[in-house]
Structure 1
Amino acid sequence: MHHPSFQHLDTGTLERWLDESVELTLVDIRDPQSFAQGHIPGSRHLDNDSIPALLEEAPKERPMVVVCYHGNSSQQAAAWLSAQGYADVYSLDGGFVGWQQLLPSRVEV
């Protein structure tokens, strides 16, 4: 049995990484309308249409952080991305909702 090869990431760690300008790929898998209403700065919207471009553009060795609403569906997406050959894949615990509650000033519209 293959265990999902992604890791959980807490909001504080992601905030620190962004503050330290750690090179990472930040993807948001929420619906387009939710993404347009607010997202973590630097994140790109990911859906079925944009997956091919992501797989082509995102360096496999760069950490990838997957964001959803509450940190549940991002786990499945993170496991899938890990299976595509990405070495360090993270699911943001608490998702965008948790980020917005803790860091409302760090939401981009």
Structure 2
Amino acid sequence: MNPPPEITPLELYSQLQENPNLLILDIREPYEWTRAFLQHPAVLALPMSELAAHGVDALPPLIREPQQPLVILCHHGERSRVVAAWLLAQGWQQVYNLRGGIDAYARQVDGSVGIY
């Protein structure tokens, strides 16, 4: 699999202001959500374990359209890189990995998100 394109935390912040169609898929596990979470209507949470167990059927309905612009995030950007590459291989067209994950977003954009 080819590495997916990436978006930086600052680029994501800007895109959230400019692109109302952009969605963010947080693939961390539920125990991680209590430690840090990006509070935004564009964020949908789906643990990677659910995605691994059920494939594309686990995706929320808003994300099932392969043309949907989508940013994948995890803690540091490694799991999300794998999921973004997998979605691209499944036919999704506008999937990006958040470089550095939610940790980088909290450190570079919004500390209220939380760091763990």
The TM-score range, normalised by the shorter chain, is 0.7 to 0.9
Matched residue SS, 2:10: helix
2:2 aligns to what? 3
**Residue range with higher mean Cα deviation, 16-25 or 71-80:** 16-25
The amino acid across from 1:92 in the alignment is L
5 Å-filtered alignment, 1:87-106, equals 87-104=93-110
The amino acid across from 2:2 in the alignment is H
1:44 aligns to what? 44
The amino acid across from 2:57 in the alignment is P
**Residue range with higher mean Cα deviation, 41-50 or 79-88:** 41-50
**Residue range with higher mean Cα deviation, 94-103 or 19-28:** 19-28
Deviations 1:70-96 (A, max 9, x none): 111211110111122110110000100
Q: How far off is 1:21 after superposition?
A: 3.6
Q: Please tell me the root mean square deviation across aligned C-alpha atoms, in Å.
A: 2.2
Task: Say which of 50, 67, 80 aligns to 2:73.
Answer: 67
Matched residue SS, 1:37: coil
State the TM-score, normalizing by the size of structure 1.
Answer: 0.81
The amino acid across from 2:75 in the alignment is Y
* Equivalent pairs, count: 106
**Residue range with higher mean Cα deviation, 34-43 or 16-25:** 34-43
Identity of aligned residues (%): 29
Structure 1 gaps of 5+ residues are none
Q: How far off is 1:57 after superposition?
A: 3.5
> Do the aligned residues in 1 keep the contact of 2:10 with 2:109 (CA within 8 Å)?
no
State the TM-score, normalizing by the size of structure 2.
Answer: 0.77
